[in-house]
Structure 1
Amino acid sequence: MSVLGAMIHKAGAGPEPIPHKELTVDNLRDALKFVISPSAKHAASRMAKEIHSEDGVTRGVESFYRHLPLLNMRCDLDPSRLAVWWSTDHCLKLSAFAAQTLADAKQLDMDSLDVHRTKDYNSRKQVSDPVSGGASAIFWTVTHYYAGIAEIF
């Protein structure tokens, strides 16, 4: 069952989703009759008003920040700063300021540091259509699920 279709049905703006294997002329006709009914039109109008009144940009930004891996982004020596370096020798995430301070004090060799990335994202992945896009997202989730759990520990 489609999640979006189930949400629309629950709100009263659409019929119960019909699995494609069960689609017949009769149940399609009944679904179309429901969609043009006054109750469905009223529910759809109510949903449109709710969607229009939402501040999607603000909610999207809030969601983005809520899901940031903040513990992995912070400097181990000064958590108010962003970690940009990783010291394998000292097993520390370091801010640029902390790394430079330690290097100036001859406690650290800047050449021994690696760039610290909390997570790498492939922002150039091309998706040609919704089906392959959805399939690739599901495949990525399934294949990276256990690796994500392992990273926690």
Structure 2
Amino acid sequence: MREEIYNFWHMYDSRFPLNVMMSGISYCDKNYRIERHGEKLYSFEYIIDGSGVLEINSQTVYPQKNDVYILTPFSDHLYYSSEDHPWTKIWIVFYGDFADYLFKHYLPADTYIIKHCNILSYMNEIINLSSASYKSYSGLIDEISVMLLKIVLH
């Protein structure tokens, strides 16, 4: 397992309508498994390749190549990649009033997977923005907010 992770937890600012906590790319192996209970976070995770399972709020879905799975605040979720064909995925973890607004107004409640939804170009742009060391956090948030709106509209 290998990951490229950009961590912004230490830059959190309650004055911003959006905070990005982390973004990255995961090259999963057959042992990849994440479980969370009740955290106040959103996440978009785009599957570049492979397959796996997401169990969230009593639903089970099977994200695979070209799908997006969505993690929502306060959810109980467990996700893991296939042993035979592990995920390669690109992701972002975020929260705030802007995220609440996007999800309330643009995505049906209890939406946890969107099949055949190629958002790779938007996610690559998020990773490019995340890796740019010259950016201020407020500038990063402004640009990622635009990318998140594009993702939701897509």
Q: TM-score when scaled to structure 2? A: 0.22
- Which is greater in Rg? 1
Q: TM-score when scaled to structure 1? A: 0.22
More helix by share: 1
More strand by share: 2
Q: Compare relative contact order (CA 8 Å, sep 6+) and give the higher one, 1 or 2.
A: 2
